Amino acid sequence: MTQRTALVTGGTGGIGTAIVRYLARQGHRVATNYRDPAKAEAWRAAMKQEGYDVVLVQGDVSDPASCETMVREIEAQAGPVEILVNNAGITRDTTFHKMSYQQWMDVVNTNLNACFNVTRPVIDGMRGRKWGRIVQISSINGQKGQYGQANYAAAKAGMHGFSISLAQENAKFGITVNTVSPGYVATDMVMAVPEEVREKIVAQIPVGRLGKPEEIAHAVAFLTGEEAAWITGTNLAINGGHYMGW
């Protein structure tokens, strides 16, 4: 297989770490960003123990200038970014009538505006080389909406609007752009939800359990592979049957 340079934003998180491992096992050079140097060092050491050598660069996906610097630094260390996974994300849940402007903006900046901030510095290179793979990590709640998540659902739905427009603009340049919409995956983000609420969520999942981060990583690896050249503009739901759109 061709070895590529992959940037996975939020690679130190639950789903991100699984994606980093999966792409690295496929032989790619993998880079990710960090914000807190101490946390990043601990993560890097743990990954090294497992045999993964990951390029780690400081970067805040909600800040366009920081993303420009981050991408240039990654390119200097690992070569041009050929695979981009916009995975970093946050939630700030509350019902809309109690939501502050800050809670709205933090979520939109980190989930949706980040797609602009990180993709803009890599797109010209991909177009010039006539090859690229871009995947947005959205959410089941961007597809179906969710009580207490007007900010998150709006941002996550917007990510797929971004994917399908970019997919059309860049298809002739050998670039595919897709969205993966995970359901509830057993990461810190979901395990922070009170147990009784989690039990109610699991009861709505036909497969009868939360997802595993590796199950999301598997889909990302599939969509970023050489053979996935004819798959573009899709929104792949991976949710144990929790929400079945068509």
Ligand X SMILES: NC(=O)c1ccc[n+]([C@@H]2O[C@H](COP(=O)([O-])OP(=O)(O)OC[C@H]3O[C@@H](n4cnc5c(N)ncnc54)[C@H](OP(=O)(O)O)[C@@H]3O)[C@@H](O)[C@H]2O)c1
Q: Which two tokens stand for residue 202?
A: 């699991």
Could you say which of 36, 41, 53, 169 contacts ligand X (CB under 6 A)? Answer: 36
CA distance 203 to 104: 29
191-230 residues near ligand X, rule: CB under 6 A: none
CA distance 61 to 183: 23
Q: Which is nearer to ligand X, 1 or 38 (CB)?
A: 38
- Minimum CB distance to ligand X, residue 167 (Å): 19
Dump the DSSP string for 136-153: EE--HHHHH--TT-HHHH
- Minimum CB distance to ligand X, residue 122 (Å): 16
Smallest Cα–Cα separation from 119: which of 134, 131, 100?
Answer: 134
Could you say which of 7, 13, 31, 232 contacts ligand X (CB under 6 A)? Answer: 13
- Minimum CB distance to ligand X, residue 36 (Å): 6
22 binds ligand X (CB under 6 A): no
61 binds ligand X (CB under 6 A): yes
Catalytic residue positions, numbered:
152
- DSSP 3-state of 195: helix
Q: Which is nearer to ligand X, 151 or 170 (CB)?
A: 151
**Selected range binding ligand X among 58-66, 115-123, 125-133, 171-179, rule: CB under 6 A:** 58-66
Could you say which of 31, 47, 87, 150 contacts ligand X (CB under 6 A)? Answer: 87
CA distance 219 to 195: 28
- Minimum CB distance to ligand X, residue 186 (Å): 7
Residue 57, strand partner residues? 33
Could you say which of 5, 6, 8, 12 contacts ligand X (CB under 6 A)? Answer: 12
Under 8 Å between Cβ of 229 and 174: yes
Under 8 Å between Cβ of 215 and 241: no
- Minimum CB distance to ligand X, residue 187 (Å): 3
Residue 236, strand partner residues? 180
128-147 residues near ligand X, rule: CB under 6 A: 137, 139
* Residue 241 CB neighbours (<10 A): 12
Q: Which two tokens stand for residue 32?
A: 């990710």
- DSSP 3-state of 242: coil
Could you say which of 190, 220, 221, 237 contacts ligand X (CB under 6 A)? Answer: 190
Residues that bind ligand X (CB under 6 A): 9-10, 12-16, 33, 35-36, 39, 60-62, 87-90, 110, 137, 139, 182, 184-185, 187-190
